[in-house]
Amino acid sequence: MPENILIAIAWPYSNAEIHVGNITGSHLPGDIVARYHRLKGNHVLMVSGTDSHGTPVVIAADKEGKTVEEVYKKYHDTFLEVFKGYGITYDLFTTTHTENHFKVSQAMFLALEKNGLLFKQFSKQWYSPSSNKFLPDRYVEGTCYICGFEGARSDQCDNCGNVLEPERLLNPRAKTGDGALELRDTEHYFIDFSKLEPDVKNFLKERAPHMRDTVLGESLRKIEAEGLKPRAITRDLDWGIPVPVPAGDAGWETKKLYVWFEAVIGYLSAPIEWSQVTGQKDAWRDWWTNPKAKQFHFIGKDNIFFHTSLWPAELMGVGSAFMEIFDPTPGPSPTGRGEKLTLPYDVPANQFMNLEGKKISGSRNWAVWGRDALTRYDPDALRYYLTVNMPEAKDSDWDWAEFVARNNNELVATWGNLANRVLAFCYKNWDGHVPGDTGEPMSLRDGDKQLLATIENGFNTVGAELEAVRLRSALGEAMKLATVVNQYLDTNAPWSAIKVDKAEAGKTVYTALKAIDSLKVMFAPFLPFTCEKLHGFFNYETPIFGEQYTETVKDSLGEHTVLRYREVSRDTISTYWKPSELKPGKKLNQPGPLFKKLEESVIDAERGRLGK
Ligand SMILES: [Zn+2]
């Protein structure tokens, strides 16, 4: 029975480009797991989008003298370029600035209100008399009342790391250059998370067996230490989603849903938008009202608490009210009529990737930018290093010398050369065909059978690591198997054997080709571009993976560009994650190298670009 797998990936914020730390933190691991489950024949939906509301993008627009919409779209376009370039196969990568996301977020708000989980409260906020409006926390800077640091943001001090109470900030000043500020009362909606704390604890306990220790530990520790406290879910801001209060409720037209509250709802709204653009209104419910669906959230460690505690709390909080409000008359669903929303299955959050021993910093250009790196390196070379170096259990470090070494010693020497030399040798000596007679089975020796059994067992061992989202280990396991094939070739040396007994050499070549054909599938989730190329050398008609493309969606807010993925249609094969069935005598295509060896000079050139 195919499983329904939702791959939900952190929504990048629209005020900076994506760097390698973002890619290895969430987008790439999500893509690897999505591709694996698609090969397994599972029903996969992978979504994310641009987080386009909130104050940082408004500040960026002020600074650049552009409209907020122009700024968010500028970064959104660069995200689409990166994901296409790296082969991050989103079924839908959209944005939070859509009519659909507005509607879904407002329905979540109303469902929480209906269930008695919202309350209104006045609090003090900095107000600018000169521009006649409240300033969001991030607009206000001043002196930290804890450590005395002069450049503290009103809600957080980057010097001592404390979360600040904005009204206690000393010497407040507006980032926009407004004159003197004063504290005024403003009313906001809060969600009372304390009522949901026991449910969240149960949720975490149920998932303890398969959640990463880093993720579970941090979440439980935080709840034990601080408890789940009420949080404001509205803000004084022009840009964003209107608060769904009854018409005529004075004062709310200048307030919006708080971005932390609505952006996370994208995990629900994006599948709904995907259903709309693909013309299958209720399809999203296969992943969202089906308790058997497995939802994976790929995020960085800075977002763990939101995804393991606050987001599940919201989902439990809306109960069946969301469906009643959002879609009172849903059509029949193949998975039955689930009334409540499905909770996350796993949150395999990654730690951070540093760069040459220092924290990545966009503003100081201490970064390897996603788009820029693609102008000099092939996507699979980057994907390989970002996977072997993925910060799964602890922070990792991007080191240019290591990038070159691992590319040359592992990707090129162990895997690329293996595939290339066996295919080239076979193509030349067997007239472009797999050794053996068409229609006849190859009679293999014990050593050949043993090798194939070892390689084919990789579908279990590599697969088990992928299921558990241990991607470094999964890729390491596949690379180990490539080494085993290299050893087998060294032992059987078909290049000399062919001079004495071509039939014996043919058995070795056939066995090695079949092993490579299987390894190709195991490597495919990690190295999709080169595995597709290799698949072409084997002259298969149906590609391994489908295609990415962009599309424009129109709604009442205007139009937005989305990234899509068209899955390859396989008539007869439900799973592609299985051993090769390579036939003797099969016609091959002219092979060529899969990877490029990198010069040592790359290391200094790249290091020289940093921090400039
Ligand atoms: Zn401080």
CA of 107 to the centre of ligand 1 (A): 38
CA of 151 to the centre of ligand 1 (A): 9
For 207-235, the pLDDT digits (tens) are: 999 999 999 998 999 999 989 999 999 99
Residue 102 has pLDDT above 90, yes or no: yes
Exposed/middle/buried for residue 353 (C-beta within 10 Å: 0-12, 13-18, 19+): buried
Q: What is the mean pLDDT of residues 277-282?
A: 91
With beta carbons less than 8 A apart as the criterion, state whether 227 and 197 touch: yes
Q: Between 139 and 480, where is the model more confident?
A: 480
Confidence of residue 570 (pLDDT cuts 50, 70, 90): low
Max CA-CA distance within the chain?
Answer: 93
Angle between helices 28-39 and 379-388 (to 10 degrees): 100
CA of 164 to the centre of ligand 1 (A): 8
pLDDT at 10: 96
pLDDT at 329: 73
Distance CA 566, CA 89 (A): 9
CA of 21 to the centre of ligand 1 (A): 27
CA of 74 to the centre of ligand 1 (A): 34
Helices (H), 87-177: 99-114
With beta carbons less than 8 A apart as the criterion, state whether 14 and 50 touch: yes
Question: Could you tell me the CA-to-CA distances from 545 to 39, 441, 478 in Å, in that order?
Answer: 8, 29, 19
Measuring CA to CA, which residue among 537, 401, 392, 531 is closest to residue 471? 392
Angle ∠(520,86,596) on CA atoms, nearest 5: 60
Q: Per DSSP, what are the bridge partners of residue 174?
A: 140
What CA dihedral angle connects 177, 181, 187 and 191, to 10 degrees? 60
CA of 158 to the centre of ligand 1 (A): 7
Exposed/middle/buried for residue 179 (C-beta within 10 Å: 0-12, 13-18, 19+): exposed
Residue 177 has pLDDT above 80, yes or no: no
Q: What is the mean pLDDT of residues 280-308?
A: 93
CA of 553 to the centre of ligand 1 (A): 45
CA of 215 to the centre of ligand 1 (A): 27
pLDDT at 330: 67
CA of 182 to the centre of ligand 1 (A): 21
The amino acid at 509: V
CA of 59 to the centre of ligand 1 (A): 22
Q: Per DSSP, what are the bridge partners of residue 547?
A: 566
CA of 173 to the centre of ligand 1 (A): 16
Angle between helices 266-277 and 99-114 (to 10 degrees): 130
CA of 154 to the centre of ligand 1 (A): 10
The region of weakest confidence among 129-143, 252-266, 271-285 is 129-143
CA of 51 to the centre of ligand 1 (A): 28
CA of 33 to the centre of ligand 1 (A): 40
Residue 335 has pLDDT above 50, yes or no: no
Average pLDDT, the chain: 94
The region of weakest confidence among 331-345, 397-411, 450-464, 544-558 is 331-345
The amino acid at 61: A
pLDDT at 572: 53
With beta carbons less than 8 A apart as the criterion, state whether 565 and 547 touch: yes
Q: What is the mean pLDDT of residues 144-149?
A: 95
Distance CA 288, CA 296 (A): 12
CA of 165 to the centre of ligand 1 (A): 11
Residue 537 has pLDDT above 70, yes or no: yes
Q: What is the 3-state secondary structure (H, E, C) of 413-425?
A: HHHHHHHHHHHHH
CA of 225 to the centre of ligand 1 (A): 21
Q: What is the mean pLDDT of residues 188-193?
A: 96
Torsion sign across C-alpha atoms 422, 424, 428, 432: positive
Q: What is the mean pLDDT of residues 17-33?
A: 97
For 403-413, the pLDDT digits (tens) are: 999 999 999 99
Distance CA 50, CA 10 (A): 9
With beta carbons less than 8 A apart as the criterion, state whether 219 and 208 touch: no
CA of 363 to the centre of ligand 1 (A): 21
- Bridging pattern class, strands 92-95 and 43-50: parallel
- The string of DSSP codes covering 435-452 is SS-TTSPP---HHHHHHH
Residue 336 has pLDDT above 70, yes or no: no
CA of 160 to the centre of ligand 1 (A): 4
CA of 463 to the centre of ligand 1 (A): 47
> What single DSSP character describes residue 229?
-
Helix (H) or strand (E) run with residue 188 in it: strand 182-191
Q: How many CB atoms lie within 10 A of CB 546?
A: 15
CA of 150 to the centre of ligand 1 (A): 8
pLDDT at 156: 87
CA of 246 to the centre of ligand 1 (A): 41
CA of 170 to the centre of ligand 1 (A): 11
For 36-68, the pLDDT digits (tens) are: 999 999 999 999 999 999 888 988 898 889 999
What value does the CA radius of gyration of the chain take, rounded to a whole number of Å? 27
With beta carbons less than 8 A apart as the criterion, state whether 46 and 31 touch: yes
Distance CA 159, CA 175 (A): 18
CA of 1 to the centre of ligand 1 (A): 55
Residue 448 has pLDDT above 70, yes or no: yes
If DSSP codes are grouped into helix, strand and coil, which group holds residue 465? Answer: helix
Q: Between 134 and 385, where is the model more confident?
A: 385
With beta carbons less than 8 A apart as the criterion, state whether 173 and 141 touch: yes
Q: What is the mean pLDDT of residues 281-310?
A: 93
CA of 141 to the centre of ligand 1 (A): 12
Helix (H) or strand (E) run with residue 403 in it: helix 400-406
CA of 142 to the centre of ligand 1 (A): 10
The winner for highest mean pLDDT among 149-153, 268-272, 539-543 is 268-272
CA of 156 to the centre of ligand 1 (A): 8
Angle ∠(343,347,349) on CA atoms, nearest 5: 160
CA of 169 to the centre of ligand 1 (A): 10
CA of 423 to the centre of ligand 1 (A): 62
CA of 153 to the centre of ligand 1 (A): 9
CA of 226 to the centre of ligand 1 (A): 20
With beta carbons less than 8 A apart as the criterion, state whether 23 and 344 touch: no
Which residues 6+ apart lie within 8 Å of 130 measured at CB? 178, 179, 180
Distance CA 132, CA 1 (A): 60
Q: What is the mean pLDDT of residues 106-110?
A: 98
